Structures are given as C-alpha cells and as structure tokens.
Chain A
Amino acid sequence: MKGTKPDPQKVEELRKKISSVVPQVVKAVEDRERLAAASRYRELEGLKKKNQSAATASSEDARKQP
C-alpha cells in the first residue's frame, strides 16, 4: 500500500482520543436493541391476549352447542 507512516506520537494522541468512542457505540446500539426487544415483548403480549380472548370465546361457544 502506498503512502507514508504518520508521526507515531500524533498517532498515539489520536488513539487516546478515539478509543473512548467504542463504549459509546456499544452502549447506543445495545440501548436501542433493548428498546426494540421491549416493544417486541409488548406486541407479543398483545397478540397473546388477543388469542386468549378468542380461544375463550370459541370454547364458550362450543359449550353452548346442543
């Protein structure tokens, strides 16, 4: 690869500055994933309740059959 190696001291200073970004990246991505998981859970619970009430209604109908 063409190009020259930059001044090592400047690189070291840069490393110190940018290394703190990784925890921020990981936290931001994980926080958003937690929000997504929470909304998925709420929707699943909603579907479960809907299915339960439908199942209850149909079993009551079945009991009423002669």
Chain B
Amino acid sequence: MDAISEVDDEIPEVAEQKSVYTWISLDTNDDFDKLCAYIDPEYAPGIVSDFLKNGLSPAVKAVLVEANYVDKDYRSTYYSFYSKKGLYYRSDCVRLHFFDQTVHFDEASLRLSYERAYAGDVNFTDHYFGYMVLRPTGVKTIGRSLINADVVLGAEGRVIDALHKVHVLGYKLLVRGFPWMQQHSDISRCAHAACWAILRHYSERFPSYPERLVSEITMMAHPVNSGGLVPSLGLNVLQAERVLLQAGAFPLRIPRDDMLACDTSFYRQLTAYVESGFPVFVSLPEHAIVIVGYRWRDDVSPNNAVCRHAWDEVQHLLVVDDTQMPYLAIPKQDPPPDNLYSAEGDIDAFIVPLPEKLFYPAEAVEQQVAALFEFHGFLELPSEAESIVRYFVTTGAAFRQFVRANESAYDLNLLQAIMEIPFSQFIWVVEIATEADWRAKTVTARAVLDASASVTEVVPLWLFQTVGKALVFNREQVGVAAIDSMKELEFAGREGFVLTRMEVNLRGSNIKE
C-alpha cells in the first residue's frame, strides 16, 4: 500500500479537461471567430473560421464543436504516415456540426432540442446542415466534410448529392451533400482530394462501391505498393484514371481537342454526364477539381438558327475544389482575375467514372441527335434550328418512376408500353424542347436510347414520343434494325397535355438566408 501511495504522490495534477461538446450560438457570421477559444491551434481554427465566415449563409445559427473525434480518413493517414514522423501529431480530430436557429443544446444532459419537438419523433434532419472535420495537421486542416448546398453562399443551381448518415450524441442525423476536403498538401494533393470526393459520394450513393479511405486512394495511384505513404507532388490524369479504375468504376477519359477553336462537343458531353448525376473529375492546368452541378441561364440563349444544346443554357458550373468552399460557381468564359478559372478557358480534360453496362457514350448520342430530327415524318417535331436538346443517362427504373409520377400526361397504351419495354439498366434520355418549352420546363419530344448499345447500331431507340404520338421499338432480336420493328401509337384527346422536363438526377439547391 505504501508503494502505491508513493506513486500516487508523483502523479501531477490533471489539467482541467475541456468539455467534449461545446455549443456556439451565432448571431452573425463573425461569431465563427469564437471557434478559436475552444479549438487547439494545431487544428488552425482561425483559418477555418475565415472559411466559414465567408462561405456559409447566415441560416447557420449554431455550431456544435465535438472534440476527440475519431475520423476514419484522418486515422488512415495517421497510421500510415503521420505517426511515423518525428514531429508529434495527435490522432484525434475535431468535428463541427452546423444547425439552424430552431435547434438548441442542453449542456447538462448533452441533449439537442428542437423548438417544436414532439416526444419520440424528433427529426433534426431539416435543421442540420452537415459537418466539417478538422485534422490536427497545422496546415490545410479541413478534412472530411459534408455540407448541404442550401447553406453555401453562391451554390445556386442543381447539384449532385446524396443522403449521408451522421451519428452524434446518440442521434442519427441525415444530411444531403457532396463530400469535400482540403488536400493534406504532403501525402495528398488536389487530385487525391478530387478522387476521394467522387469515391466517397459513390460509396454513400451506390451500395456496390466500397468505401475508400484517403490513405488507400494515395496508394491506388501507383502501380506498386511502396509499403507506406510518401509525400506526393500530385497526380496526372493517368494516375487519377487508375485510382477510379481500381475503385471499381469504369472511367471514361475525354480530352479537349486543342486543334479546334472551341470544342463544343467536349462541353456538350461534359454537361450530359453531369446531368446524368456522374460527378466529373476535371483536369485544369496544375490543378484538379470535381464538377458536381450547374445552373441554367435565367433566360434561354440567343437563337443563332442552329440547334442549341444544354451546354448553351448553362450559366455556370458548380465545382468541388479543395482550395475553396464546396459548390464553387465557375463561369463558362470569364477568366481571372474576376474568377479563379473558367470552364471554356481552363478545362483540359475530364474523366467520368461510369458504371458497368454503359457502353454508349455521350459523343455517340450527340451524333444521333441529327438522326432523331429525321423522324419528323412520323412525329411533330420542331426544326433543329428552333430546338434546344438535352440528354442524360438514367436507369430504366427511374424512368418508369418518373412516368408513374406524371401518369396523367400519358395515354394508357403508352403507359403500358413503357412499363413492358425490357429496358437495359441504363438508358439515355434525349429531350427536344422549343424556347417556350424550355422556359416552361416542358419538352416537345422525348427519346429513349439503349445506353448498352454498340456505337455501330443505327439509332438504338426504345421509344420516341410526343404528347400525341409515340414510336415504340422492339429490341428483343439481334439482327433486326430498330426501324423495322417500329410501331406507332397515336393518342386522341391529348390537347392541353404537356410533357414535363425530366430532372431526376440532380437536386435544385435552395439557398437559405
């Protein structure tokens, strides 16, 4: 017993522990500076505070600071890199959670409360805007983050996002968003951060993709496993392609044709894939980002008597750039110094990580558009010169779901045909609209193409419809040309009905003030 007493005497007085959870109410965005009082310097709270002050909308009214947070992505790099360094790095992170003004926190019971909470059915999801993990690395400390576009200043448009589960204080919160983090600057660079963001979105959105941690992604860029993480000077497009391929995606690389004054096809394909809900890895001079959305122009583009494509109607793109807050708007043309970069000035190439069974590229669909206008003898179509064409990939199931939700606009025979067509898993939808349609978010005609078709097929159609008529194609026998199997369905009494524009892959952001 005496020995134990001696040991006890030698134990220094334990410093007062900071609370694991701290609630910071925000009257104005300047109150983000209060983070500096609660977060240790290795997490760079001052720099983080500046990011948040300038990037988040005033709808964020409270931050819950969660200390001692074990972050799987940081830990993956800690075990394989930071713990091997002479400089001491902590193993834990800090996580910041963002709420609106209706959510409160009780320090004694560590309970979240909601103004209109009712017993047993508390749902904070609509009042929770996401989280940001801070790494103890001194520089570039913003790690895995998931912030709803609705509270990011400037994120106006339509974004690719997914629902993510967040566990905190015994609550399971749900938040929509696209993953984002800063590069580590030593073991991961901008291209690693871009690949990580895409792969984390895929693993959350689609169960068939496994979760990949930052350290794994860093290793996947190289053909040989060197046995541990080493500082990186960055990736080229080839290495990013390798990462996405190893992660189970089927990356399609589209370089811009620099021999052309403006490679319009390049941008049309880019729009088509983003419209399809595929986040696109983009190579810029000395940088890499992910395109996750776009905003349409306020009014339609000028009519130059040629067929217009969805790209012509894009106002700006929304990107995830590790050096900026997520959902950064980049213009099509205005170059620096007003903007960091522009789409038409700086994008050299992009990689779209496709799923398996998508063999018919956007390039082929673009070429098929002209052939679709040749069906004017069978369907009432606007001329090419007065049309705006938009095409994207969706699943046969999502298409049927869309038709079911809008079934009042469909004749019963067409509805039956759509439910019975043996669609491939992925289909291309081509929508043809006039200017008036575009403004009203309707279309004149919609075609459904087989996304698993061969590029040597003549118009691999399943369906081509207007309000009053449809052409249905039978693709159940190899060797029979699509048009030989074509059947016409005509619908009487459809005056006054319209075909609604199909926008199912991206979510419109609704910036909260």
Partners in one complex: yes
Q: Which residues of A contact B374 (CB under 8 A)?
A: 14, 17-18
Q: Select one of B349, B361, B458 contacting A29, CB under 8 A.
A: B361
B366 interface hit (Cβ, 8 Å): yes
B375 touches A32 (CB 8 A): no
Query: A-B contact count, CB below 8 Å?
Result: 104
Known A14-B377, A18-B458; judge A40-B238 contact (CB<8 A): yes
Most chain A CB within 10 A, of B254, B361, B374, B457, is at B374
Q: How far is the CA of A22 from the CA of B364 in the complex (A)?
A: 9
Q: Which residues of A contact B349 (CB under 8 A)?
A: 39
Q: How far is the CA of A22 from the CA of B487 in the complex (A)?
A: 22
A11 touches B366 (CB 8 A): no
B265 touches A28 (CB 8 A): yes
Closest 4 CB pairs of A and B: A3-B487, A43-B238, A21-B371, A18-B371
Q: How far is the CA of A44 from the CA of B368 in the complex (A)?
A: 34
B139 interface hit (Cβ, 8 Å): no
List residues 250-268 of chain B with CB under 8 A from any CB of chain A. 253-255, 257, 265
Q: Which residues of B contact A17 (CB under 8 A)?
A: 371, 374
A-B contact pairs, 8 of them (CB 8 A): A2-B417, A3-B413, A3-B417, A5-B486, A22-B455, A26-B456, A32-B361, A39-B253
A46 touches B236 (CB 8 A): yes
Q: How far is the CA of A39 from the CA of B253 in the complex (A)?
A: 10
Question: What is the predominant secondary structure among interface residues of chain A facing chain B?
Answer: helix
Known A2-B417, A35-B257; judge A28-B364 contact (CB<8 A): yes
- Chain B interface residue number, banded: 35 or more
Q: Select one of B253, B377, B472, B483 contacting A3, CB under 8 A.
A: B472
Known A1-B417, A2-B416, A39-B237; judge A29-B377 contact (CB<8 A): no
List the interface of chain A (C-beta within 8 A of B).
1-6, 10-11, 13-15, 17-19, 21-22, 24-26, 28-29, 31-32, 35-36, 38-40, 43-44, 46-47
B489 interface hit (Cβ, 8 Å): yes
Known A22-B457, A28-B364, A32-B363; judge A39-B255 contact (CB<8 A): yes
Residues 480-513 of chain B, each 1 if its beta carbon lies under 8 Å from chain A, else 0: 0101101111000000000000000000000000
B459 interface hit (Cβ, 8 Å): yes
Q: Which residues of B contact A18 (CB under 8 A)?
A: 371, 374, 458-459, 483
Q: Which residues of A contact B472 (CB under 8 A)?
A: 1-3
Closest Cβ–Cβ distance, residue A35 to chain B (whole Å): 5
Q: Which residues of A contact B483 (CB under 8 A)?
A: 11, 14-15, 18
Q: Which residues of B contact A22 (CB under 8 A)?
A: 455-458
